[in-house]
Amino acid sequence: MALKGNLRDFTISQLLNLIHLARKTGALTVDGPGDKAWAVFREGKLAYARMASEDDSLVGVLHRAKKISKAQYKVLKERAAAMSDKELGILLINANYLTQEDILESLRDAYVGVLERIFPWVEGMFVFEDGAPSLDGKITLKVSLENVIMDASRRLREWEQLQDEIPSLDVALKFADRPGVDLRNVNLSVEEWRVVSYINPKNTLKKIAAATKMNDLEIRRIVYGLLQAGLVEMVRPEGEKIEPRKPQLPVSDPEEQISLVNRIIHRIRSL
């Protein structure tokens, strides 16, 4: 089933978070302002990405990564036109022209770069098609989206969006109960570590901001990143007084209340 929507309503970070957490395999097409991006994911990891306006061949990627000169780019484009990226990659490594690390690093930067470039897009349409598309001859990678999401989230500067996401600083944070997520494997900045060190359901965001000497915008920016990466969840601060409104039931005895609900269940079943 395809997921379709508008970026105004469902952001790239939310999409990547969904793909990451649901370990999705499929292709994401984003039709944005002036360009189009296409990215392939396998089990929630980035396998391949390209911008419609750019040469996505290995030669083009290596040239943009300054691993080969313009002259070399032209020669390779002509002579290796019939070769797949995989074949060309092996040829370049065997000829000691480039190392495997050079190639993989360039491709990783290129694929992640596509996601980084579409991250700020707030206008456009997206479609995520389930299932692995054919990538014959292309070199695919397995790039974890956690750090991509974290890095790109840091770039989100729009105060309104952050305020919309975190409308109040009177909430607290707790670590998400997500098996398999190890904080040690996530690249956190010094500021993020400072916030992480204060995460406790007793500490409101306001308290954490005061303790870490951050302003409202800075604390929101960091918490937004942690939330998007699925590492923490917002909770009501411990010890906060709530005035609960109890259900108004026509009977007060617990046994009678249970009986009353059972009568409703029986009636609904018979509808």
Partner 1 sequence: MQTVKMVVTGPFNAGKTEFIQTVSEIDVVATERKITSEAERIKETTTVAMDFGRITVDDNLVLYLFGTPGQKRFDFMWEILSEGMLGFIVMVDSTRPETFREARSILETFRAYAPTPYVVAANKQDSPDAWAVDDMRIALRLDPSVKLLPCVALDKESVKNVLLELLYSILEEMEANSRK
For 133, which DSSP code? P
Residue 227 Cβ vs partner 1, minimum distance, rounded to whole Å:
8
Based on CB atoms, which residue is closest to partner 1, 134 or 270? 270
Residue 166 Cβ vs partner 1, minimum distance, rounded to whole Å:
12
Based on CB atoms, which residue is closest to partner 1, 103 or 166? 166
Residue 220 Cβ vs partner 1, minimum distance, rounded to whole Å:
16
Q: In the complex, which residues of this chain contact partner 1 (CB under 8 A)?
A: 1, 3-6, 8-10, 14, 17-18, 21-22, 164, 233, 242, 244-251, 254-255, 257-258, 260-265, 267-269, 271
Question: Strand, helix or coil at 24?
Answer: coil
Residue 185 Cβ vs partner 1, minimum distance, rounded to whole Å:
20
Burial 45-58, CB ≥16 within 10 A → b, else e? bbbbbbbeeeebbb
Residue 29 Cβ vs partner 1, minimum distance, rounded to whole Å:
16
Quote the CA–CA distance of 227 and 143 in Å, as a whole number. Answer: 20
CB atoms within 10 A of CB 244: 5
Answer for the pair 25, 41: CB distance below 8 angstroms, yes or no. Answer: yes
Based on CB atoms, which residue is closest to partner 1, 2 or 211? 2
Based on CB atoms, which residue is closest to partner 1, 165 or 218? 165
Answer for the pair 49, 40: CB distance below 8 angstroms, yes or no. Answer: yes
Instruction: Map tokens 């007793």 to a residue.
Output: 202
CA count, 13 A, side-chain hemisphere, 16: 29
Rounded to 10°, the helix 145-155/216-228 angle is 160
Based on CB atoms, which residue is closest to partner 1, 75 or 258? 258
